[in-house]
Chains A and B, each alone.
Chain A
Amino acid sequence: MKMLAFLANPDRFRRLTGPALPVTGLLATGLVLVGAVWALGFSPDDQVQGEAVKIMYVHVPAAWMAMAAYAFIAVASLIGYVWRHSLADVAAREAALPGFVFTLLALVTGSIWGRITWGVWWDWDARMTSMLALLFIYAGYMALWRAIENEGQAARAAALLAMVGAINLPIIKFSVDFWETLHQKASVIRADGPSMPASMLWPLAIMALGYTAFFAFHVMLRMHTVILEKRREARARPARAASTATISHPASDGSPSGEHA
């Protein structure tokens, strides 16, 4: 909790995470490039799926990150809701768009893979349906932020939605164990260890790390931008006490109203 209060100061946050921006940005680019070349060029074809297995290197990290981003939003929402750290609210809000895109990417690539291997683009099994629900939760979460004008109220409403929606994460993860599904069971994160050879696991891990670096880069960059924007707004806004007395007609003297503040 000490750590949280420490990071909740926008200036301190910017100072501490500033150096991490170029690092995560470069890592994201490098890892995804290396992972993609390795996956497409040097990883083996699967015995039954053939070349279609290559879709997995885009699909699986996207699905993981879709869930990881949501978990991040849920935790940041709890911190923002209980301790009213507005920076945690910003972190949650800015993680939603990449989370939504990861979910969409997982659904689209999964659909293409499904057409090739299963023979159908889509099927309403528990895994696919719960993943589609995640996409809608992301969309609803982003819409809720924009629907409420007061930022504090929007943050509280969105945080509650995010926390309740987190129930979908275990449902997605265990959907393939609870129910009979068309989607196969987990191949990597499972009790008996990965049922995938190292020659496929390595490029997959590199892609997943690249996606993670990109997510960290995006969220931190957006947080920095929001902090700076708010500061500029605060500077441009005239001081409240002065506004009633001297700046009732801000444009009348021809100078920008900000000068008076």
Chain B
Amino acid sequence: MTEEQPKKRMPRRRRQQRLMLAALIVPALTGAIGLAVIAIGQSQVYFYPPRDLPSPSELDGRTVRLGGMVVEGSIEQGLETDTSFRVTDYVETVTVVTNDMLPGLFGDNQGVVVQGTLAADGTFIAARVMAKHDENYMPAEVADALEESGRLEEYKKKGLVEQDR
């Protein structure tokens, strides 16, 4: 409570000086941090959509990530062999092979992020498969009702367009 005493004789100028100081230093520092974060963000790619995936020779065996939608009906789950499916961004499509456990949300028309290497023949060998959830929530019963009326795909597509943006 040492603030009480000097408060009365604290000149207006000092308060304004502090306000100026805060108004200069804080935006300068935050701006610097913000720019650094944006710069890092631009140089780092979290995942490539299939259309941006570099060629096998460019990647040269490096581990990268590929993200997109699982093409409907493309999942082939082998008993002894690896699982394969195709990932698309509605421009390009890449075939993915994996022996990783498949997550709960994995399925047709669901978003997926896979991590692995690109083989010379253009097949993506995924060591890790992660499912991606979109921002749309829908009660299971509503989804069933929509499916019955044949409008579920239309609704889903709307979500997909959003996500691809």
Residues of A within 8 A of B (CB): 44-50, 52-53, 56, 78, 81-86, 116-120, 123, 125-126, 151-152, 160, 163-164, 166-167, 171, 178-182, 184-187, 190, 195-197, 199-200, 230, 234
Residues of B within 8 A of A (CB): 1-3, 7, 10, 15, 18-19, 22, 25-26, 29-30, 33-34, 37-38, 41, 45-47, 67, 101-107, 110, 113, 128-144, 159, 162-163
Question: Do A152 and B3 touch across chains, with their CB atoms under 8 A apart?
Answer: yes
Question: Do A46 and B135 touch across chains, with their CB atoms under 8 A apart?
Answer: no
List 14 contacting pairs A-B, 8 Å CB cutoff, sorted by A. Answer: A44-B139, A48-B107, A50-B104, A50-B140, A56-B137, A84-B3, A85-B3, A116-B104, A119-B130, A164-B30, A167-B34, A179-B46, A185-B135, A195-B137
Question: Do B30 and A181 touch across chains, with their CB atoms under 8 A apart?
Answer: no
Question: Do B140 and A117 touch across chains, with their CB atoms under 8 A apart?
Answer: no
Given A118-B132, A119-B103, A180-B67, CB of A46 within 8 Å of CB of B137? yes
A234 to B107: give the CA distance in the assembly, Å.
67
A200 to B137: give the CA distance in the assembly, Å.
8
Chain B residues lying within 8 Å of A123, measured Cβ to Cβ, are 130
Shortest distance from the beta carbon of A149 to any chain B beta carbon, whole Å: 13
Chain B residues lying within 8 Å of A85, measured Cβ to Cβ, are 3
Question: Do A47 and B19 touch across chains, with their CB atoms under 8 A apart?
Answer: no
Shortest distance from the beta carbon of B46 to any chain A beta carbon, whole Å: 4
Shortest distance from the beta carbon of A7 to any chain B beta carbon, whole Å: 15
Question: Do B136 and A84 touch across chains, with their CB atoms under 8 A apart?
Answer: no
Given A117-B104, A117-B105, A171-B37, CB of A180 within 8 Å of CB of B45? yes
Chain A residues lying within 8 Å of B101, measured Cβ to Cβ, are 119
Q: Which residue of B lies closest to A186 (CB)?
A: B135
Question: Do A152 and B29 touch across chains, with their CB atoms under 8 A apart?
Answer: no
Q: Which residue of B lies closest to A227 (CB)?
A: B1
* Among B1, B102, B132, contact of A184 (Cβ-Cβ < 8 Å): B132
Given A83-B15, A182-B113, CB of A49 within 8 Å of CB of B133? yes
Q: Which residue of A lies closest to B138 (CB)?
A: A47
Given A48-B110, A152-B2, CB of A195 within 8 Å of CB of B130? no
Question: Do B41 and A184 touch across chains, with their CB atoms under 8 A apart?
Answer: no
* Among A126, A167, A186, contact of B46 (Cβ-Cβ < 8 Å): A126
A141 to B113: give the CA distance in the assembly, Å.
35
Question: Do A164 and B103 touch across chains, with their CB atoms under 8 A apart?
Answer: no
Question: Do A164 and B26 touch across chains, with their CB atoms under 8 A apart?
Answer: yes
Chain B residues lying within 8 Å of A49, measured Cβ to Cβ, are 105, 133
Q: Which residue of B lies closest to A84 (CB)?
A: B3
Chain B residues lying within 8 Å of A187, measured Cβ to Cβ, are 135-137
Shortest distance from the beta carbon of B132 to any chain A beta carbon, whole Å: 6
Given A117-B103, A119-B130, A184-B132, CB of A163 within 8 Å of CB of B22? yes
Chain A residues lying within 8 Å of B144, measured Cβ to Cβ, are 47
* Among A47, A53, A117, A167, contact of B33 (Cβ-Cβ < 8 Å): A167
Chain A residues lying within 8 Å of B30, measured Cβ to Cβ, are 163-164, 166-167
Extra 5 A-B pairs, beta carbons < 8 Å, given A125-B46, A178-B41: A44-B140, A163-B30, A184-B132, A185-B135, A185-B163
A81 to B137: give the CA distance in the assembly, Å.
43
Given A160-B25, A179-B46, CB of A199 within 8 Å of CB of B135? no
Given A81-B18, A126-B46, CB of A182 within 8 Å of CB of B138? no
Shortest distance from the beta carbon of A132 to any chain B beta carbon, whole Å: 14
Chain B residues lying within 8 Å of A181, measured Cβ to Cβ, are 46
